[in-house]
Amino acid sequence: MRMRPTLSWTPTGEPPPGTTDPGPVVDVLGKGGVLVLSGAGISTESGIPDYRGEGGSLSRHTPMTYQDFIADAQARRRYWARSHLGWRTFGRARPNAGHRAVAAFGRHGLLSGVITQNVDGLHQAAGSEGVVELHGGLDRVVCLSCRTFSPRRELARRLEEANEGFAPVAAAINPDGDADLTDEQVGDFRVVPCTACGGILKPDVVFFGENVPPERVEHCRELVRRSAAVLVLGSSLTVMSGLRFVRQAAQEGQPVLIVNRDPTRGDRHAVTRIALPLGTALTTVAGRLGISVDDTAARPGPAEEVGR
């Protein structure tokens, strides 16, 4: 029987209380060597909803699983129709104050690295360098047969040509770039194959039910080992792909700090959780450190680069 991936968790016992004082983050960042681990919550202020917060997309939407994508041509049709429409909005998203603050911390030498669970590319657009995309990125696609990579903007152009006039109105856009469409709206949407071998194209992201490449996991573990502390930003840490690094840091004696308005699965491993919106919290932290948070290093979103 096919198992569904873990999409939610239920706290046991009384969750540790959060605080609205960002002082502990100021103290830890001021010493440097901090590894940032970010989740969907850091992108909500850019107009991209999260999965599990108030009004999160999982209340109405089950993300595509790797198993369904591989096994079912109709599932792939639904996915690409919804993802193609979502890309028009998702690809125009701009970094917010939280992304810009992380980039500023990096420019001032306070970070040992940035690991993001997000696939939106907004950390890079804000100017952060060397970002590890734990779950990949929506700005590129890969052929499952010949493993050829190509830009998402190229696929978007090909899908536009194959589906002229496709412009349904989506109910919402989800954190994975998937638009909410009915089967009637999907209709007979045409999926295009790999131009190199005719194989099946997949976004270069880790679907639910798919494993993060082991070499990427080991790279992240090494970043944890080399860091003085781990700062979690906007992640519920529900899935093990991110939680394992929090557990590792706690086991190895590095302090873990979490900025997330709601309780997380990693709270018991953290020295504190700051229950504030990311933009507000990180702008305050930057101000106390004498760091300016601006958008001078921000780049256009991937869809804007091609005038979409």
Catalytic residues: 135
Q: Is 177 labeled as ligand-binding?
A: no
Coil/strand/helix, residue 68: helix
Q: Is 5 labeled as ligand-binding?
A: no
Q: Is 278 labeled as ligand-binding?
A: yes
Q: Is 128 labeled as ligand-binding?
A: no
CA-angle at 81, arms to 196 and 236, nearest 5°: 100
Q: Is 49 labeled as ligand-binding?
A: yes
Q: Is 44 labeled as ligand-binding?
A: yes
Q: Is 194 labeled as ligand-binding?
A: yes
Q: Is 121 labeled as ligand-binding?
A: no
State which H helix or E strand residue 105 sits in.
Answer: helix 97-107
> What does the alpha-carbon distance between residue 155 and residue 13 come to, in Å, rounded to a whole number?
48
Distances (CA, A) of 224 to 139, 251, 256: 26, 11, 11
Q: Is 112 labeled as ligand-binding?
A: no
Q: Is 187 labeled as ligand-binding?
A: no
Q: Is 236 labeled as ligand-binding?
A: yes
State which H helix or E strand residue 273 sits in.
Answer: strand 272-274
Token pair 């047969």 is found at 145
Q: Is 120 labeled as ligand-binding?
A: yes
Structure tokens at 67: 């198993």
* Contact status, residue 265 vs residue 243, Cβ threshold 8 Å: yes
Any bridge partners for residue 256, and if so which? Answer: 230
Coil/strand/helix, residue 8: coil
State which H helix or E strand residue 229 sits in.
Answer: strand 229-233
Q: Is 52 labeled as ligand-binding?
A: yes
Coil/strand/helix, residue 233: strand
> Which parts are annotated binding residues for Zn(2+)?
143, 146, 194, 197
> Which parts are annotated binding residues for NAD(+)?
39-59, 117-120, 234-236, 278
> Which parts are annotated binding residues?
39-59, 117-120, 143, 146, 194, 197, 234-236, 278
